[in-house]
Chain A
Amino acid sequence: MLSLSAISKRFGSVSAVVDVSLTCAAGQVHGLLGENGAGKSTLMNILFGLVTPDAGSIALAGKSVRVFSPHQAQRLGIAMVHQHFALVPILSVVDNIILALDDKLGFADRAKWSQRLRQRAASLHWDINPQAVVGTLAIGQQQRVEILKALLGLDQASNMGAVAKILILDEPTAVLTEQEVDELLPAIRRLASDGVAVLYISHKLDEVARVCDVVTVLRRGRVVHHGTANTPPAQLAALMIGAAIEKPQRTASPAPDSAMSPVIIKNLCLCATNGRVELDDINLNIRAGEIVAIAGVEGNGQSALVEVLLGQRVPTSGSVHGVGSPTQLGYIPDDRHRDALVLSLSLRDNLVLKQYRSLPFSWHGWLSLRQWTVAAKRLISAYDVRALNVFVPVVTLSGGNQQKAVIARELSSQPSIIIAVNPTRGLDIAAATSVLKRLIAARDAGAAVLLIHHDLDEIMSITDRLLVMHEGQLTDTNWPASNRAQISQLMLGHVAGAAT
């Protein structure tokens, strides 16, 4: 149905896509695998008319086409669901559909479009309320709206004579909970059996194995593998990165200094203004030279604990010692856009943000900008932050590179205390591995590390102690004497299953 041949695209001196050819058949889910920056998104943006290719051609059902705008792509029968949704949050579901698909300016026939929306949703066994305001819906629901919008667009195009029905899903599970993923994947299969060609972009190997028929692996803009989806995941991972990944090896911490506990939390309690108990009698010492990890289902008090440690919230009772001066603390927050980066400032300015008032970055109030540049260049090469140069606004960097920039700034000053919340979120395998290795290195250098993380595998690969947080209470799992099943039980609040 769709064939791309010899597509190439350069941005400045960077080759984003080099000589890529691939075909996609109706009724097939085609996985497009690759690390961040491998060229997956660029390739799809070319297909969707957002980016013009330098060379190569696109053919739909054997006929060569040129796609120069997303609007035209839609009329050709190509629809795309972006990672960041293109919905208008203040409008209702049906109004969002009318906005994108109706072509008249006059009376908005909400009844007619609601009917079509419900019908399309029913074909996927979904239930949707067309009158609901999009901003009030959960992320998974919003994604359903996006997918339905794309499908209705495809229906409309085929009514007007388009031959293709191609749906591009750009990392559709990146923002979903596990349960939402479990609901989404069967729906994608159902779409394929209806004759839609689905292009599924991801860097998650297990999902690709679950939902795709064929996979194409991209690395540095080139196709390095094409085959069926039952290629072993380890082989796919190696293809994506170009070498077998060296997993971080858990090494026992050299000798946590019992006499030195940079962080001492005693009988800490925190109640919300509505009386709800957020933190319930927390006791925790983090010693110099050890990693203490807190696992748990999100929303069980982890963020409240971090806020108290940082002094953003005052505890109801109990005490926290240690986290005093910000220069001694390395903090990798969950939300880098809100809490770590000034998006409109340059990469350089963000990298020296914590130190700019001290020597050699400033001298009695005079800023030594040359020193900033020197330090920033050193940091981006040491931490593999990929950017055109250090003067570009940090907002132009990809999410993975933004995260690496945060980590570079927070860990390079050799802090004695490190608080890391989901530090590998949004990073590909290679980058995530390097972050975990950095945390181990910091520990070996004598830092006290608190790791709050959603990924149990990654936690278990590096941590020295593992605690579980559930409904504001902290339980020690006696890790590594406990196993995965016991830890999962604790995360769900089954105290009986605790390690003995």
Chain B
Amino acid sequence: MINESLFIIVVAQAVTAAVPLVLAGVGELTAQRAGILNVGIEGLLLTGCIGGFVAATISGNGMIGVGVAMLAAMALASLFAWATVMMRADQMVTGMAINLLAVGGSGTAWMLAQAHGYAHMPVEAGFTRGIVPWISPETQQWLSSWPIIGPIIFDQYGLTIVVGLFTLAVWWLLRRTRAGIIIQAIGENPDSCAMVGIHVRQWRCGLIMVAGACAGLAGAYLSLMRTHGFSPLMSGGMGFIILALVIFARWQVGGLIAVCLGFGLVDATQSLLQGSGMNQVVPYQLFQALPFIVAFSALLIFRRGQHGPATLGQVWPSTIK
């Protein structure tokens, strides 16, 4: 029953599911390495969803949607940066406030969009599968027909390759550059960084903004690529899953890709099982819960071991002089 093509289909679906996780996750991971725990990532994703949807619907241009999604999420992230880094507010509380703000804001925007007749996205504004928009359909078809890597890499949304290259760049940055050393040092010992003339606050604010842009883009992926529309709360807890995956990946970029793909695989398997007729016997909600159950169990099993960055989630400087 299980044959090679079925396997490839599942893997390709896993990649499709993993792309937003990796993208928003790598932003969150980098910020966490510098000591910033942004639990508002769920809200940033949702902001990306609605921002991208509304802008693409009104303008009829998907790329404008993507740009607005990133800007909207960065605007919300700048609020988080201002409160936590400049005003020394508690990161956890501020992050939760960001989430609530995004729920209310996106709901309001969605109702306004419906009231003004922008509830449905024009077909040309949504993205279709294909590595880049301007490539000819023949070339695309030829690439996608390659065995194995065709469906897994080329028959995806264009963002997939961008995310892959971006992640690779972040991995290199953290391992091989002084900027990467600084990011890790800021998360471990910001006081001594300040002593050698590193501007801790600027770095942290910058990383929060980059993480915001990543989350916004991941949100646009959900509303402009995987689906062509918006529904309230459509990020559906993905931000919280990402927070868990970052811990699960032990704050390593390579680990993050692995756990995101693993999560995507379970997700793809569950939709396959749902379609296989087993939903006659087992309620479909149970299938939908499967990836979360697996992720949760994995967290419990592998919870021990390496700790996160030493000052993760802490206010800096700890005392005002």
Contacts and interface: CB of A to CB of B under 8 A. Distances in A.
Nearest to B198: A99
A86 B177 contact: no
A500 B180 CA distance: 64
B184 interface: yes
Contacts of B180: 108
Interface stretch (A90-98, A172-180, A258-266): A90-98
A102 interface: yes
Contacts of A366: none
Interface stretch (B65-73, B103-111, B187-195, B288-296): B187-195
A88 B188 contact: yes
A100 interface: yes
Nearest to B196: A100
Contacts of A69: 197
A86 B192 CA distance: 5
A12 interface: no
Nearest to B189: A88
Given A105-B179, A107-B176, A88 B185 contact: yes
B195 A70 contact: yes
A98 B188 contact: no
B30 to A, nearest CB: 14
Interface string B228-242: 000000000000000
A71 interface: yes
B181 A91 contact: yes
Contacts of A89: 188-189
B189 A86 contact: yes
A78 to B, nearest CB: 13
A365 interface: no
A104 interface: yes
Interface residues on B, range: 20 to 34
A99 B177 contact: no
Contact of B178 (A87, A88, A90, A106): A106
A99 B195 contact: no
A91 B193 CA distance: 13
Nearest to A94: B181
A105 B177 contact: yes
A76 B196 CA distance: 13
A105 B203 CA distance: 12
Given A70-B195, A99-B196, A100-B196, A108 B177 contact: yes
A87 B192 contact: yes
A106 B179 contact: yes
Contact of A90 (B179, B188, B319): B188
A258 B177 CA distance: 70
Contacts of B319: 396
B50 to A, nearest CB: 35
Nearest to B186: A88
Chief secondary structure at chain A's binding surface: loop
A438 B198 CA distance: 47
A397 to B, nearest CB: 13
Contacts of B177: 105-108
Nearest to B306: A90
Nearest to A106: B177
A446 to B, nearest CB: 43
Contacts of A98: 178, 181
A254 to B, nearest CB: 48
B176 A108 contact: yes
A90 B188 CA distance: 8
Interface in B9-63: none
Nearest to B192: A86
Contacts of B179: 105-106
A70 to B, nearest CB: 5
A108 B179 CA distance: 8
A396 B191 CA distance: 16
Contact of A86 (B181, B184, B191): B191
Contacts of B191: 86
A129 B112 CA distance: 63
B161 interface: no
Nearest to A85: B192
B195 A86 contact: yes
A90 B178 CA distance: 15
Given A104-B178, A105-B179, A88 B197 contact: no
B192 A105 contact: no
A450 to B, nearest CB: 35
A157 B71 CA distance: 43
B182 interface: yes
Interface in A103-158: 104-108
A99 B197 contact: no
A108 B181 contact: yes
Nearest to B193: A99
A74 B193 CA distance: 14
Nearest to A92: B181
Given A70-B195, A71-B196, A100-B196, A88 B184 contact: yes
Among B176, B182, B189: residue with most chain A CB under 10 A: B189
Contacts of A104: 178
Nearest to A75: B197
B148 to A, nearest CB: 35
A104 B178 CA distance: 7
Contacts of A105: 177-179, 182
Nearest to A95: B181
A99 B189 CA distance: 12
A102 B181 CA distance: 11
22 contacts: A69-B197, A70-B196, A70-B197, A71-B196, A88-B185, A88-B188, A89-B188, A90-B310, A91-B181, A91-B188, A95-B181, A99-B178, A99-B181, A99-B185, A99-B196, A102-B178, A105-B179, A105-B182, A106-B179, A107-B176, A108-B176, A108-B177
Query: Which 6 pairs from chain A and chain B are nearest by CB?
Result: A71-B197, A86-B192, A100-B196, A105-B179, A88-B185, A108-B178
Interface of A: 69-71, 74, 86-91, 95, 98-102, 104-108, 396
Given A71-B196, A105-B182, A108-B176, 13 more contacts: A70-B197, A86-B195, A87-B189, A88-B185, A89-B188, A91-B184, A91-B185, A99-B181, A101-B196, A102-B178, A105-B179, A106-B177, A106-B179
